Chains A and B, each alone.
Chain A
Amino acid sequence: MNRLLKNREIWLGLAIVAVVIAVTLRFPRFSQPGNLLTILNDTSILMMLALGQMVVILTRSIDLSMASNLALTGMIVAMVNAAFPFIPIPLLIAGCVVVGAALGAFNGILVWKLDIPPIVVTLGTLTIFRGLVFVISGGSWVNAAQMSPEFIQLQRGAFLGLPNLTWFAIVVAALFFVLMTSTPIGRGFYAIGVNPTASVYTGINVGRTKFLAFVISGAVSGLAGYLWISRYVIASVEVASGYELTIIAACVIGGVSIAGGIGTVAGALLGALFLGVVNNALPVIGVSPFWQMAISGAAILLAVVLNARGERSKGRIILKKAEVAS
């Protein structure tokens, strides 16, 4: 029970429930299952992106290029679909993952082989990828009329009562859960975040592990590229502009430590869900959507203050134990 109370994910979960209850008291329709599912579906893309970002942040890196990667892959897939509507959608999705992973690998190789700080690399690729969207599209849009019906409808279908988009998020989350908890690679992400030097001695290739993290975040961005474009049925240069910060915000709110090594799949998912619930609640309670940005900013600051507290007290407890032991 005590451990449960200290669990950050539980507190975040309770905070989300509290927001839902508070809104429901005024507007009972808010917590109807249908609306809650809509919120979950609306947040699916952010959840996947937050998981990808989490892996990168765990390794003491940061990926600022995710939103630009998403926009670039999305534009590529939209243009391919518009030009060759007969290509089956699963093949397109696989292509998106590969293209996204390749863009991520570009980040990763610069971090791994040249040892350039990740924030510099991804700051550069953030602008480069976004610029490339303009170059390949010539600044024009790909709109709903140019996309094939299957391209648009795939994620809108439902399976077992849940929209396919939500299923995408569930499958991705399950994959991440297995990766992070049950594979040497996943444990390696935590290890090099907690202590890179010790990781080297345990035989983990730090550079290669960071490279893999960037490939993963890139692959997720690529997948999100297709999902985003087919959801909002418009591919343009401006797609998801500035969204990289929302992704990082979801991670920070979810308790992923920017110093690396701390963070869970559940935390990242709940962090994204928190932002989703708040964003969906604002119009319901009649607050202008222009409040959204300030609220997520305040949420980030609050989360980081609380996280820092948690991490600090943990440090003290370890020291106390060490004192008792000696």
Chain B
Amino acid sequence: MTDISATGRRLPNRLDNPLKSAALSWESLLVLVALGIFIANSFASPYFLNAWSLSDLTFNFTEKALIALAMALVIITGEIDLSVASIIALASTLMGLALQYGADTPTLVAVGVGVGILCGAFNGFLVTGLKLPSIVVTIGTMSLFRGVAYIVLGDQSFKGYPKDFSWFGQGYVWWVISFELVLFLVAAVIFYVLLHHTNFGRRVFAIGNNATAAQFSGVRVDRIKFVLFCLTGLMSGIASVLLTARLGSTRPSIAQGFELEVITMVVLGGVSILGGAGSIIGVVLAALIIGLVTFGLGLLNVPGIVMSIFTGSLLIVVIALPILWRMWKAKRA
């Protein structure tokens, strides 16, 4: 660094600076949006500013946000995983099946998490081992995993989960702080460190920017992608445990449509769908925004399907605005 300044030839660091400043401004934009929605919510409904309301709010997004953390890494490498909701369904179904054979709570959790990892590994093997495009593979496994859940359950459901199992989805660690929220915050910190402060994280970005170049610089591209698919499977398994515990029952249609909400969180959080850029802070903020929007609209008695118009528009508008802004600036310059 000193060499360059000494000679007076300052090379513009094209790789880091624009990305970093863009990410920073993106995250500040998200903070502003979140604050705006928060304030709007407190004006719109008298029930909003209440510790228990705010605690309920977190249940709206924690399960999806847990998956979004891992999904962010997958998308940064330029891949995608559409099967996460189906992994939840399959893991939940097999937990229910284990319950029928009298499994206790630790076994149930192990089954849920284990099924998640195995499903993720299956995706990872098809994508990295057989070199198939992840979007088709995970569309296929999306049908396959949930399809197996349908084969096992049909139009039935599993109920009667033990009380100490329900704690994972309904329990509070302290006052209004739920176990789900604590788990999410811990996971967010772990993923933040993993992506932004480890070699592994740098390699994830390298793969997303140029997989061939990364390969030639000694990054084990396939192995990292495989690990990321397993990680997404793991987080889906954990989400399955939480969701099953919270709902107290398993139907094959559980978590239907979650994959789209998870991807919306990731993209809204500033992760480039083309890979190579993104941050965990952005994803956490996006999860919070979606939680705030859906909860606020829920307090106003807006039906869930209408909320989806808001989340869908939010996704498109938030991506379109910076592009329009850049176009407008380019026109003026």
* Same complex origin of A and B: yes
Pick the residue among B136, B155, B264 that contacts A252 (CB under 8 A).
B136
B316 contact set on A, CB distance < 8 A: 110, 116, 120-121, 124-125, 128
Closest to A293 in B: B147
Pick the residue among B131, B140, B148, B313 that contacts A300 (CB under 8 A).
B140
- Does the CB pair B309–A128 fall under 8 Å? yes
- Does the CB pair B139–A126 fall under 8 Å? no
Residue A310 lies at the interface, judged by CB distance under 8 Å to chain B: no
- Does the CB pair A301–B144 fall under 8 Å? yes
Closest to A115 in B: B323
Knowing A290-B150, A297-B140, the reply to whether A304 touches B305 (Cβ < 8 A) is no
Residue B227 lies at the interface, judged by CB distance under 8 Å to chain A: no
Knowing A290-B151, A293-B150, A308-B130, the reply to whether A127 touches B137 (Cβ < 8 A) is no
Which 3 A-B residue pairs are closest in the complex by CB-CB distance?
A: A294-B147, A297-B143, A297-B144
Residue B176 lies at the interface, judged by CB distance under 8 Å to chain A: no
Closest to A294 in B: B147
B139 contact set on A, CB distance < 8 A: 245, 248-249, 252, 300
16 contacts between A and B (CB under 8 A): A114-B323, A128-B313, A131-B305, A131-B306, A134-B303, A290-B153, A297-B140, A297-B144, A298-B140, A298-B144, A298-B147, A300-B140, A301-B144, A304-B137, A304-B140, A308-B130
* Chain B CB within 10 A, most for which of A132, A290, A298: A290
- Does the CB pair B151–A294 fall under 8 Å? yes
- Does the CB pair B143–A245 fall under 8 Å? yes
Among B291-333, those with CB < 8 Å from A are 303, 305-309, 311-313, 315-316, 319-320, 323-324
Residue A292 lies at the interface, judged by CB distance under 8 Å to chain B: yes
Q: How many residues of B contact A (CB 8 A)?
A: 47
Pick the residue among B132, B307, B319 that contacts A120 (CB under 8 A).
B319
- Tell me whether chain A's interface is mostly helix, strand or loop, or mixed: helix
Residue A291 lies at the interface, judged by CB distance under 8 Å to chain B: yes
Residue B231 lies at the interface, judged by CB distance under 8 Å to chain A: no
Query: 1/0 per residue B120-164: CB within 8 Å of A?
Result: 000000100011110111011111111110110111000000000
Residue B285 lies at the interface, judged by CB distance under 8 Å to chain A: no
Given A128-B309, A248-B139, A296-B143, 13 further pairs, Cβ under 8 A = A120-B315, A128-B316, A131-B306, A237-B305, A288-B151, A290-B153, A291-B147, A291-B150, A293-B150, A294-B143, A297-B145, A298-B147, A300-B136
A127 contact set on B, CB distance < 8 A: 260, 308-309, 311-312
